[in-house]
Amino acid sequence: MSAARSARPVKAITLAGLANRLRHLDCALDLAARLERPVELIWPMDRDLHCPFERLFDVPDAVVRIIEQSHGNYPLHDKILRKISFPGRHYLTSEHFGELTQEKRAMGLDHAIMAERMPASDLIIFRSGQRSYLPEVPYAWLRPSAMIDGLTQAVTAGYSSKMLGVHVRRTDHVHAIRHSPMETFLSEVDRKMATEGFTGLFLATDDDDAEQAICAQYPDTLIYRKRSRDRNQPVAIEDALVDFICLSRTDEILGSAGSSFSQEAALLGAVVLNIAC
């Protein structure tokens, strides 16, 4: 058995919606690889995301177990985990990674020091919905399932030579609604299409009104038509992942203020992100 497989797994507990889970899992998988450990993935099936992991992604080689049971009350669960203490147990959240941000972008960390402080026999629980730091190659593990890949390819096959990805976040995201108004999106899309050589638009949004406004102004807009926007329905999460990947394959993203979905899609595709504000 390899050293990684004989070491105790990093228990990676993901939280909240799709982008929040993905950015934490990106860190957890990188951390585990640096510490030469496997990963036990906690992927709660709850009101924020009700879809099995394997329906969305190929399981990374490092993941030895997936648990999809919901923990219910997140703050209470966090309190309980913080109170449990015994030698050889480490409960990590994003706050434990110190001052690792620069202009809101998480930077690297010294894995060698962490490995020294947390030997292979120790228990590591890593719980977050945030990005704790930035791996050298973000999302190196991400492989969509065959179904998701097929849906994505069907959209990107229609991409023109220079695509602008537009992500309009609405519903429960008060910050995005307040700081990225629809009027700003429309004026910025107008400007970019007229002056920056964009030849096509891909729209990702969780809001019917935003979809209608963009499509009315740009009737040839390319969009993945949602089967559902209800996070309790697996197809809604599948649709969100298709949007996420399609955004990452545009040439630039015009995103929503404070949206992890905009930020992480840009990171996945290594594309420029501008915020409509």
pLDDT tens sequence across 150-209:
999 999 999 999 999 999 987 766 676 677 888 999 999 999 999 999 999 999 998 888
The domain of 123 spans 3-128
Q: How far apart are the C-alpha atoms of 181 and 276, rounded to whole Å?
A: 8
Say if residue 165 is in the same domain as residue 225: yes
Say if residue 26 is in the same domain as residue 112: yes
Give the CA angle between residues 85, 11, 47 to the nearest 5°.
105
Name the residue with higher pLDDT: 42 or 69. Answer: 42
Say if residue 169 is in the same domain as residue 214: yes
Decide if 8 is inside a domain.
Answer: yes
Confidence of residue 225 (pLDDT cuts 50, 70, 90): confident
Decide if 80 is inside a domain.
Answer: yes
Say if residue 220 is in the same domain as residue 191: yes
Say if residue 55 is in the same domain as residue 175: no
Sign of the torsion angle spanned by Cα atoms 92, 98, 104, 109:
negative
Residue of 55, 59, 60, 77 whose CA lies nearest to 233: 55
The DSSP output letter for 84 is -
Q: What is the pTM of this model?
A: 0.88
Q: How far apart are the C-alpha atoms of 143 and 59, rounded to whole Å?
A: 8
Say if residue 111 is in the same domain as residue 215: no
- Give Dmax over CA atoms of the chain in angstroms: 62
- Give the pLDDT of residue 188: 94
Give the CATH number, domain containing residue 255.
3.40.50.11350
Residues β-bridged to residue 162: none
Decide if 260 is inside a domain.
Answer: yes
Decide if 134 is inside a domain.
Answer: no
Q: What is the domain count for the chain?
A: 2
Say if residue 59 is in the same domain as residue 174: no
Say if residue 170 is in the same domain as residue 267: yes
Decide if 62 is inside a domain.
Answer: yes
- Give the pLDDT of residue 90: 83
**Among candidate residues 87, 102, 128, the one where a domain is terminated:** 128
Residue 115, C-beta contacts closer than 8 angstroms, at least 6 positions apart:
34, 35, 36
Say if residue 91 is in the same domain as residue 192: no
Is residue 20's pLDDT more than 90? yes
**Among candidate residues 100, 128, 156, the one where a domain is terminated:** 128
Residue of 209, 245, 210, 204 whose CA lies nearest to 226: 204
Say if residue 124 is in the same domain as residue 199: no
